[in-house]
Amino acid sequence: MLKNLKVLSLKYRPQIFEDLIGQEIVSKTIYNSIKQNKIPNAFLFTGIRGVGKTTIARIIAKALNCENGLDNICKDSFCKNCSEIVSSSHIDVLEMDAASKTGVDDVRELIEFSRYGPSLAKYKIFIIDEVHMLSKQAFNALLKTLEEPPNYLKFIFATTEIKKIPITVISRCQRFDLSRIKFEEMFEYLKKIMKIEKGNISDDAIKLITKISEGSVRDALSLLDRALINQNKDIDLDAAKKIFGYYEKTSLIELFKNLFDGNEKEVVKIYRSIYSSGVEPKVFLNDFLEILYYFKNISYLKLDGNNFLMNNKEYDQIEKISNNLDPSTIFLFWQFTINTLDEIDFVSNQSVSVEMFLMRLLHLKSFYKENKLEKIQNKNNTKMENFKLEIEDTKEPAISKPIDQIKNIYQEEKNKPETQSENKKSELKILNFDQLIEICDKKKEARLKYELENNVNLVSFNNQRIEISFNEKLDKEFVKNLSSKLFEWTNMRWIISFSKESGKPSKKQLEKEEKLNVMNEAKKSNIYKKVLKSFSDAELIDIEDKKND
């Protein structure tokens, strides 16, 4: 602990391996490698901000150069080497920020400096923070020295963007991935520091700090610092929320509940309350996506506070709502939210855009409910499988009537033969494919008739079973529409299936081939030849059968 510093993140910065929290495996591995004198040429630390990358780099520098040795590294009172390493002023331990020195010339200067042995310490150490910011040429210049450095030279790299570092560099380093600090571990750590600082902050407020920090020790200590500075009295959860401008996910979950219930007034009210608390529209949409993720995967999540930071109340609310949700709804909402995140940059008033986004979701939900109801009715329908709204261009007024298919009175009277009873309708027999086409023609089902004649390649037709080969030109609703009409006409269930076999050519195709054959035969006739002698440019266009005449 550095007592002369007042900022908590610096005051409580770990000075030895034992002080590190949440990185026990990493610290133990490095300690053993130094102990056994199997020190790698270069260390590479990666992880989110504030988990100890630069801190571990300094501890390694101290462990290699401390005058008291590895097992007695300076913690409170420092030797000369450790004191200068901690203050970043040691001549043999160079700390470089790659964000400000990205060029190849900076690296060449570093390599030139590495040719000389250490002046005071045992090892010369280069600590390069945010190493991913180096240019491609700078990385290439560093490769040879990195692979075969002098025995006295060690590199320590730290980065938050491991994917931006060339694989040739990564392969020459011993890589350590630093994990986020677990919830319970961070909570206990903050409580310990709060007691040392003689703060009076409730456990719930400390849990909120832990939650907001998202596993970063530096963020957590900075937030705790803010809470202690604002401490005029005991800080409870409500006071902590005001200090950090935080809103509970409970209100967002409540918004979802009203959204799924179709309560527009409450949805707008809750969103405006969240927006008024200082939450930016983009932050709101990202939190919105997070809750959608929880709804879909709540059964796989645990309340361990490590990856998914929810309290018991939020977990129970999400679990209860998710039980009544269809995954299709969640996926639709997810896609709409992603699209809105892209659109929001083009709108001057982003809050209004988010409100309209919520309105769209309300209508999308009601549409989904209707669609779901339609599917259920189609499954259990005893008369028709196709439940849809037909709109007909007519001057007659459309009057709704509670019947199987939504049609107006004019349509019902028009489609219902006056002389045909329900009994006779049930006696209708369809014995072959041609008869089916004829019935479609009589019933004025032009769309079905067109599909049957042009796009159906028949494999077999018998015992209320029609088998056809797949044709990509076939209308997507053809099978559903045909099975519905067949049930309506015959009062029997028909099975319509696709076969792997290649069916017969379509009826129109057969007619076309037959007509072509007839025309080819006609062209061989004497009459046609005589016509060509008299009219050399004559062309046979069509042939009509005059037998009936």
pLDDT at 237: 82
Q: Higher model confidence: residue 473 or residue 162?
A: 162
Residue 425 above 60 pLDDT?
Answer: no
When pLDDT is cut at 50, 70 and 90, the band that residue 545 belongs to is low
Report which of 169, 209, 155, 296 is spatially closest to residue 8, judged by C-alpha positions: 209
Q: Higher model confidence: residue 219 or residue 479?
A: 219
- Cβ(211)–Cβ(80) below 8 Å: no
Q: What is the pLDDT of residues 190-205, one digit of tens each?
A: 999 998 988 888 888 8
* CA gap 359, 378 in Å, rounded: 29
Q: Higher model confidence: residue 122 or residue 533?
A: 122
pLDDT at 494: 85
Percentage of the chain exceeding pLDDT 90: 23
pLDDT at 176: 95
* CA gap 283, 277 in Å, rounded: 12
pLDDT at 410: 43
183-244 is a CATH 3.40.50.720 domain: no
Indicate the Cα dihedral angle 244, 245, 250, 253, nearest 10°. -130
Q: What is the pLDDT of residues 503-538, one digit of tens each?
A: 888 888 888 888 888 888 877 888 777 777 767 777
Q: Which residues pair with 155 in a beta bridge?
A: 42, 126
Q: What is the pTM of this model?
A: 0.58
Angle made by CA atoms 372, 378, 382, in degrees to the nearest 5:
150
């004649």: which residue's tokens?
453
Q: What is the pLDDT of residues 235-255, one digit of tens each?
A: 888 888 778 877 777 888 889
Q: Which residues pair with 469 in a beta bridge?
A: 457, 499
Report which of 56, 64, 59, 14 is spatially closest to residue 35, judged by C-alpha positions: 64
* CA gap 54, 88 in Å, rounded: 12
When pLDDT is cut at 50, 70 and 90, the band that residue 548 belongs to is low
Q: CA dist 228 to 201, 206, 376, 537, Å?
A: 8, 11, 59, 103
Same fold, 183-244 and 249-374: no
Q: Highest-confidence range of 286-295, 406-415, 493-502, by mean pLDDT?
A: 286-295
pLDDT at 418: 46
When pLDDT is cut at 50, 70 and 90, the band that residue 365 belongs to is low
- Cβ(84)–Cβ(90) below 8 Å: yes
Which secondary-structure segment (H or E) carries 159? strand 153-159
When pLDDT is cut at 50, 70 and 90, the band that residue 268 belongs to is very high
- Cβ(44)–Cβ(174) below 8 Å: yes
At how many degrees (to 10) do helices 249-261 and 350-380 cross? 50
* CA gap 514, 506 in Å, rounded: 12
Q: Higher model confidence: residue 279 or residue 311?
A: 279
Residue 377 above 70 pLDDT?
Answer: no
Residue 155 above 90 pLDDT?
Answer: yes
Mean pLDDT of all residues in 405-419: 46
Mean pLDDT of all residues in 363-371: 58
Residue 321 CA, chain-centre distance (Å), reads 20
Report which of 358, 97, 108, 395 is spatially closest to residue 252, judged by C-alpha positions: 358
Domain 417-499 CATH (choose: 3.30.300, 3.40.50, 2.40.50, 3.30.70): 3.30.300
Residue 113 above 60 pLDDT?
Answer: yes
pLDDT at 407: 46
When pLDDT is cut at 50, 70 and 90, the band that residue 303 belongs to is low
When pLDDT is cut at 50, 70 and 90, the band that residue 405 belongs to is very low
Q: What are 534's two structure tokens?
A: 């008299």
End-to-end CA distance of the chain, in Å? Answer: 113
pLDDT at 211: 84
Q: Which residues pair with 128 in a beta bridge?
A: 96, 157
Beta strands in 443-503 (DSSP E): 457-462, 465-469, 495-499
When pLDDT is cut at 50, 70 and 90, the band that residue 398 belongs to is very low
Residue 111 above 80 pLDDT?
Answer: yes
Mean pLDDT of all residues in 125-138: 92
Give every CB contact of residue 15 below 8 A, 6+ residues apart in sequence. 1, 59, 62, 73, 74, 75, 76, 86
Give every CB contact of residue 242 below 8 A, 6+ residues apart in sequence. none
Q: What is the CATH number of domain 249-374?
A: 1.20.272.10
Report which of 502, 448, 506 is spatially closest to residue 478, judged by C-alpha positions: 448
Q: What is the pLDDT of residues 15-64, one digit of tens each?
A: 999 989 989 999 999 999 999 999 999 999 999 999 999 999 999 999 99
Q: Which residues pair with 467 in a beta bridge?
A: 460, 497
Extents of the domains making up the chain: 8-177, 183-244, 249-374, 417-499, 512-549
Q: What is the 3-state secondary structure (H, E, C) of 328-387?
A: HHHHHHHHHHHHHHHHHHHCCCHHHHHHHHHHHHHHHHHHHHHHHHHHHHHHHCCCCCCC
Q: Higher model confidence: residue 223 or residue 391?
A: 223
pLDDT at 217: 93
The Cβ of residue 406 has, within 10 Å, a number of other Cβ atoms equal to 15
Residue 484 above 70 pLDDT?
Answer: yes
Q: Higher model confidence: residue 408 or residue 492?
A: 492
What is the CATH topology of the domain spanning 8-177? Answer: Rossmann fold (3.40.50)
Judged by DSSP in three states, 127 sits in strand
When pLDDT is cut at 50, 70 and 90, the band that residue 488 belongs to is confident
Mean pLDDT of all residues in 167-187: 92
pLDDT at 26: 93
Q: What is the pLDDT of residues 306-358, one digit of tens each?
A: 444 566 777 788 888 888 888 888 888 999 999 998 888 888 889 999 999 99
471 DSSP 8-state letter:
-
Beginning with the edge strand found earlier in the chain, give each strand of the sheet holding 174-177 in spatial order.
Answer: 93-97, 124-129, 153-159, 42-46, 174-177
Query: How much is the CA Rg of the chain, to the nearest whole Å?
Result: 39
The Cβ of residue 139 has, within 10 Å, a number of other Cβ atoms equal to 18
Q: Higher model confidence: residue 369 or residue 162?
A: 162
Report which of 459, 477, 476 is spatially closest to residue 468, judged by C-alpha positions: 459
Mean pLDDT of all residues in 68-97: 88
Environment class of residue 486 by beta-carbon count within 10 Å: exposed (0-12), middle (13-18) or buried (19+)?
buried
- Cβ(165)–Cβ(133) below 8 Å: no
- Cβ(369)–Cβ(266) below 8 Å: no
The Cβ of residue 179 has, within 10 Å, a number of other Cβ atoms equal to 14
Mean residue pLDDT of the chain comes to 81
Q: Higher model confidence: residue 90 or residue 522?
A: 90
The Cβ of residue 119 has, within 10 Å, a number of other Cβ atoms equal to 9
Residue 305 above 60 pLDDT?
Answer: no
At how many degrees (to 10) do helices 507-523 and 446-454 cross? 60
